[in-house]
Chains A and B, each alone.
Chain A
Amino acid sequence: MTDTVQLTAERAEAAAEVSVRDLTVLYRTDQGELPAVAHADIDLPTGTITGLVGESGSGKSTLALSLMNAIPAPGRISSGSIQVNGVGDVTRLEGRALRRVRGRALGYVFQASQNSLNPLKTVGKQLLDLGRAHDVQDMRGLVRRARELADEMGMDGARVLDSYQHELSGGMRQRVGIVLALVLNARVLILDEPTTALDMLSQAAVLEIVRKVHRQEGLTTLVVTHDMGVVSEIADRLAVMYGGRIVEDGPATEVLQRPAHPYTRALIGATARITGDTDTARALPGRPPDLTTVPRTGCVFRERCPLAMDVCAETEPQLLTWAPDRRRACHADPATTAATGEGA
């Protein structure tokens, strides 16, 4: 590690609400324990929206879940630390202390949360259950807060609390998920694929609401998605994952304009866009790896990388700072990857 890296790390830590260091999460499979997230280093600076993009199986949900130390069996956090402002290292918490942190410090909206509400209970009942689980004394206050949040999100709070899941549209369920995540005054909001099953209009509405709540409540937000469009629409910062590694991060617009990792560049180039020349867009060759097919040595992207060199097969590139506030994990010269960042 170079001095510059140390410096940026310290600088970021000062202002980071959540900082993840050297996080490795293993899942037990038929082929032994394999890393779904390997040596992840990332900060969520206070007050920003960070977008985490990557294809299916790249480990996004796993990384997001580990922020709450909620990796389901047969997985486990095998190393690393996750410092959350005012809480300490989440990976060291257990039992009651951990449960308190979930919900109170960290609000999580699950992937496919449209379907994760209990179909047999009204939203209000589920809210009370949540309060009871967290030993909330002031239930009235809790309900009031939920109604406020729902109203803020453009829903009729009272009606929503009296509704069953099936009476709400997909976009509304997603918003209810956010209400439940924030009602205990969490400072950090984690959204896993918040718009995936929604159509364009509902997606735009949900994104707008995320942006608004984020600003009004002064949150630190992590949005996990596979959709470049979604992150670029709302995120301040962008982290790109591939094969369990964070391969690039930095300010969102900069990364989009000048991607410094071949994968980022390819992903941008493979996004169907509403403007520009359709002939220049290219799908990536090959298929996204999963736990068992990800290369065990060298760069995880090398099988699909147009710039792969001999060294890529031998040494795994480290996530290093190559320009102010920009990191990437690639052996190639940044100039070659960024030059054609437009996908053109």
Chain B
Amino acid sequence: MTAPTLGAATAAVPPRRRSTSWTAARRVVLRKPGRVIGLGILVFFALMAILGPYLYPGQLAVDPESIYAPPSGAHWLGTDFAGSDVLQEIVVGARYVLLTASLSALFTAVVGTGVGLVAGYHRGLADSVLMRATDFILTIPAFPLLIVLSTVWSFANPLEMSLVLGLTGWGGVARAVRSQTLSLRERGFLEAARGLGLPTRHIIVKELLPNIAPYVAMQLLLSVIGFIGAEVGLFFLGVVPFSSSNWGVMLNQAVFAGGAMNSPEALGYLLAPLVCILLLTLGVVLFLDAVDELFNPRLRERS
């Protein structure tokens, strides 16, 4: 029959060198300048969070001579109510904020994806139980819980904060992943995998997960932003005790102690953390554009 001819036709197409995932990823990011900028911003803040505390070790320097000083050569972003350097505070405060937000996001992504996958793939009893649990989680409001917990915990450890934020936040991801899984389940390739008798673990990890990975990755990035907002908000409102210097505390101090709303003095102090949050959001939004292509081999190789 035509079998050999088709084989010949395949041979005629020069075998494409399988680019490693790294070069492919680099190509995807380099394809649009926005993505490079986005990635740059994300890397910048990541470095700030990692290296910040080493850059300015020890306590923040307090300089009673210059309180609320305007930006100058010595203090690029001015100083705060205690005369500490704002830039220094931003840099040092980044770790707590970013670490908590990233941990929370990771937590939501892992738990949400796990629950969603298992519920969606197994359906039936597992689905009912997990979804009831999800619904329950969705009804727990994070803010009041944090206020209550703050009477017990000081939230000095980023882990505590992210545990609470993460624990209350995975419901949405779980629901979305479940519905994606349910629809993927009916796709031919999953039916085929089941028909071949491949183990469930294989099906979930190797067949299902890669297909929802872009969604999960996007969710992860977006929830980092969400959690930064939530967390900074909590500190800003002062509902959780200040345990360390961070962006939320800065905002709170600027508005409630520095009167940044009606005097220009503390403006730099107020704007600095705000701009950082905006920049980070911008970075995430710009980079999101690349996520789909990074995970989808079809989009990835076009160039």
Contacts and interface: CB of A to CB of B under 8 A. Distances in A.
A binds B: yes
Nearest to B1: A283
B9 A285 contact: yes
Contact of A285 (B5, B302, B303): B5
A86 interface: no
Interface residues of A, number: 7
A284 B6 CA distance: 9
A286 B5 contact: yes
Given A30-B302, A30-B303, A287 B9 contact: yes
Contacts, number: 16
A313 B6 CA distance: 21
Interface in A281-316: 282-287
B2 A287 contact: no
Contacts of B9: 285-287
B2 A283 contact: yes
Chain A at the B interface: SS class: loop
Nearest to B302: A30
Contacts of A30: 302-303
Nearest to B9: A286
B6 A282 contact: no
Interface string B1-12: 110011011000
A286 B6 contact: yes
The contact size tier of chain B is under 10
Interface in B284-303: 302-303
A283 B1 CA distance: 8
Contacts of B302: 30
B285 to A, nearest CB: 25
Contacts of A283: 1-2
A287 B303 CA distance: 23
B2 A282 contact: yes
Contacts of B1: 283
Interface string A263-286: 000000000000000000011111
A284 to B, nearest CB: 8
Interface string A30-45: 1000000000000000
Contacts of B5: 285-286
Nearest to B2: A283
A305 B8 CA distance: 15
A232 B257 CA distance: 85
Nearest to A285: B5
Contacts of A284: 2
A34 to B, nearest CB: 15
A285 B1 CA distance: 10
B253 to A, nearest CB: 51
A161 B2 CA distance: 49
A30 B303 CA distance: 7
A109 B5 CA distance: 37
Interface string A232-266: 00000000000000000000000000000000000
Interface in B1-34: 1-2, 5-6, 8-9
Interface in B256-303: 302-303
A286 B2 CA distance: 9
Contacts of B8: 285
Interface in A13-35: 30
Contacts of A285: 2, 5-6, 8-9
B19 to A, nearest CB: 16
A282 B3 CA distance: 11
A291 to B, nearest CB: 14
A13 B1 CA distance: 45
A287 B2 CA distance: 11
Contacts of B2: 282-285
A316 B6 CA distance: 25
B58 to A, nearest CB: 55
A283 B9 CA distance: 14
A295 to B, nearest CB: 12
B228 to A, nearest CB: 37
A27 to B, nearest CB: 14
Given A283-B2, A287-B9, 14 more contacts: A30-B302, A30-B303, A282-B2, A283-B1, A284-B2, A285-B2, A285-B5, A285-B6, A285-B8, A285-B9, A286-B5, A286-B6, A286-B9, A287-B6
Interface of A: 30, 282-287
Q: Can you list the 6 inter-chain pairs with the closest CB atoms, starting with the nearest?
A: A285-B5, A283-B2, A286-B9, A287-B9, A285-B2, A30-B302
12 contacts: A30-B302, A30-B303, A283-B1, A284-B2, A285-B2, A285-B5, A285-B9, A286-B5, A286-B6, A286-B9, A287-B6, A287-B9
